[in-house]
Amino acid sequence: MGIEMKLSVLAVAAFSTLAFAATAQADDNFPGAPGVITLPGKCQKLVVAKFDATKGCKGELASVTLVNGTVTFIFTSDGKLLGFQGDGKGIKPASNGNARLPLSLVTTGVGNKMTGEVKVAGSCTFGNPYAGKPTAIECTAESKDAAFTGSFRTNGKGPAQKTPEKNKK
């Protein structure tokens, strides 16, 4: 099962309240309208507690936005998923034209299902991937027991929006 299909199944199964946008038009207001987009590029770092999962980290990052405004950045490494989740209504400007998403949860999963969540404090800082140049998404979070870090750099190509209709094959 390819990453695109896994992400679609993940979005539908793990986020049952997700309502996808009716059209697949690019939204320059990243992370944008409810739906799933994928960003091509390079995973630069993925660490869960003391485990470094960077070596197996995929060159595609998913951004899932729910109708209630929740935003999750999902990293994939060797069949495992790590999502950095926060309330998109709390996104604030950061330095160098970036934005910052405050985090409340880190979600974990295997294959195509999110099965766990940990309350955290932290943030994801990101640029606009629609700008036509490489941009970074950097997430750091801490729970009472562990620290989580994810860093991804897009390749400058725009995000691809995923809808259930496109992936049912």
Query: 70-122: per-residue pLDDT in tens?
Result: 999 999 999 999 999 999 999 999 988 899 999 999 999 887 777 889 999 99
For residues 131-157, give the mean pLDDT.
95
The DSSP bridge partners found for residue 76 are 81
> Three-state SS for 106?
strand
H or E segment at 10? helix 3-14
pLDDT in tens, 33-81: 899 999 999 999 999 999 999 999 999 999 999 999 999 999 999 999 9
Q: Which two tokens stand for residue 61?
A: 């990052």
Residue 21 reports pLDDT greater than 60: no
What average pLDDT is seen over the chain?
81
How far apart are alpha carbons 100 and 77 in whole angstroms?
A: 24
